[in-house]
Structure 1
């Protein structure tokens, strides 16, 4: 029987005010370079990150390496926490690949015809994933995760005319394309050495301060707090939930604009789902667009 946790994290991203953008983006650029260098060095150790998942990810990274470019101890902790989380996620995905690799077959590929290019045989994939999931018994690998890895393997087939035999063939080195830095490796929002965060829910604002490199590459604390207005939906969640360490992240628009956002993550109790028979409407969401080949 599948088990589920009683709580779940919800994330709300808030764009930093304009006066903090330049400093935040320099910070994200610097940390991205360190994260990507560490990912490159540790990618051959991927299996180790699948065997051990107890404790903070930065401690696991620390067993293998120190900072390739020191910006401060807690800054490196935050960077290595980012690295460790990525590697742990990839290690879990590799385990999913190892479950589906034995069932990868030409039956998942819809042959090319005069009127239609080759594509994915989605009914066959769905049937195979359903059958595989039933055979896993206590394994908690989700239908979506299994299906997603098979689709990635099919994309590999379209490029190479064969299915991958190893996860490292399927998955390129997962380097960051935009900056991302979790502050979970620091000492908390009141005593942090890489950031400080204070909430005034009644006033509807957060006061955020962080270390960053200036244009000459010298690291400083920002001299003044960055005042971040809190959206109403976040204030409501903070009434009942527990605020977790934030993540500073870069976003890019189609026109090339870059800007920094702070992700506020709140752990809340899971809502009790209604009985399926009583549901009248269902809202579905997809994270991408299927491209038929």
Structure 2
């Protein structure tokens, strides 16, 4: 190999990296500028506020939170009146089974199929970054949305909780008390854990998006898979497959409120999400790199 070829290698790789970063930046900008994304984030931000207002109205006479004063409803709801920080945990418990994954399903399902139906996918593939880097950029933008959506819920809940209820020391599930600062730190860790819980489902949605050129069909199919998995996970007759369903360990984040923290189910959740991300991410890559882009 000549000296010219050796020196040309880094020079060739550098523009490719710049193209890849440019594509990722473009994907993030496109994703978060869409009115659909703004609307989804707005709905997610409104859910904790509505929960907080409902609890505030219901407990205006000094009764405990939850229907009938019995602490029903989403987890942690009965403790919100004593500490507004619990609204973060209650809001994440309420939005994770349905609202958050549905929002992620819409974004992931539309990521490739939406470009194909709009006729812009073939122009994106002209970039030197190639199909693999384009697919990675799209998956990375979906993961960023997972984190942003979760943080929107958490921050909205924290603000509403602090305005509507007193804040202070946090009583853990184990019965011990921790300071507000540590409780706030755990709330942040829980938000990250919830976002990570959506990694496998995001890869599944990306794979479905590569199977069709219709964005609406991909979004509907992704949400349909979510609903089906949720239903299967509630059927006791199918308990043998429950540990292999992507939403099975989603609520394991509650173990971060134990003292000491109970890690077993959270580790299982991380492992399961990694398997789903690897399997469906590979399937999406195999499909997308061989897909005939005709529009």
**TM-score, normalised on structure 1?**
0.31
- Structure of higher RCO (CA pairs closer than 8 Å, 6+ residues apart): 1
**TM-score, normalised on structure 2?**
0.31
Q: Tell me which protein shows more helix as a share of its residues.
A: 2
Q: Tell me which protein shows more strand as a share of its residues.
A: 1
